[in-house]
Structure 1
Amino acid sequence: MPLYEHVFISRQDLSNSQAEGLVEHFSTVLSDNGGKVVDSEYWGVKTMAYKINKNRKGHYAFLRTDAPAPAVHEMERLMRLHDDVMRVMTIRVDAHDDGPSVQMQKRDERDGRRERR
């Protein structure tokens, strides 16, 4: 099955448990349609570069999935209809990276950055 990575932003006035509940809800939608969630991360409340629906901040969540295309389309459709979800981005990847995403790594652990002069 194809591999996907999803990032979605939910409204800032949700509690942390409600935002994590959205991750669980969309994970079950995906598994009901024949896919599986390989990994999920809750990135917390972050400030956005611009306002979306009059919100300056949002709860960010990240999912790594292994699912057929119809399951991903159904999950995206339900995300776009959900009132609490503001933005969704899905990309298809060749392979999932091991370990945490770049957002969850500490600054010291990130490699590939050069020193400023």
Structure 2
Amino acid sequence: MPLYEHVFIARQDLSNTQAEGLIEHFGTVLSDNGGKVVDSEYWGVKTMAYKIKKNRKGHYSFLRTDAPAPAIQEMERLMRLHDDVMRVLTIKVDEHAEGPSIQMQKKDDRDGGRRERR
């Protein structure tokens, strides 16, 4: 089955448990349609570059999925209809990266490949 990565932003006035509950909700939508969530991460509340629906911050969540295209389309449709979800981004990938995403890595680990400025 094709592999996908999804990032969605939920409203800032949700609690952390409600935002994490959205991950579980959309995971069940995928499993009901023949897919599965390989990995999920809750990135927390982050400030956005511009306001979306009068919100300056949002709960960011990340999903790695293995699902057929109709399951992805149904999940995206439900995400766009959901009142708490403000934005959705889905990308088809060739393979999932091992370990945590770049957002979850420590800053020291991310800067390991950079060289110092002179």
Fold-level similarity (TM above 0.5): yes
1: distance between equivalents of 2:107 and 2:58? Answer: 22
* 1:58-113 Cα deviation digits (max 9, x unpaired): 00000000000000000000000000000000000000000000000001111432
Matched residue SS, 2:109: coil
List structure 1 segments (4+ residues) > 6 angstroms apart after TM superposition. none
Number of aligned residue pairs: 117
Structure 2: give runs of 5+ residues left out of the alignment.
Answer: none
Which one-letter code corresponds to 1:113 in the other structure?
A: R
Q: What aligned pairs does 1:52-91 form with structure 2 within 5 A after superposition?
A: 52-91=52-91
Which one-letter code corresponds to 2:34 in the other structure?
A: G
Q: Percent identity?
A: 85
Matched residue SS, 1:30: helix
TM-score w.r.t. length of structure 2: 0.97
User: 1:113 is matched with which residue?
Assistant: 114
Which one-letter code corresponds to 1:116 in the other structure?
A: R
1: distance between equivalents of 2:45 and 2:85? Answer: 13
Matched residue SS, 1:80: helix
1: distance between equivalents of 2:92 and 2:34? Answer: 17
- Offset, 1:17: 0.3
Kindly report the root-mean-square deviation, in angstroms, between the aligned alpha carbons of the 2 structures.
Answer: 0.7
2: distance between equivalents of 1:87 and 1:7? Answer: 8
Matched residue SS, 2:113: coil
2: distance between equivalents of 1:11 and 1:48? Answer: 11
Matched residue SS, 1:23: helix
* 1:43-64 Cα deviation digits (max 9, x unpaired): 0000000000000000000000
Structure 1: give runs of 5+ residues left out of the alignment.
Answer: none
2: distance between equivalents of 1:58 and 1:11? Answer: 5
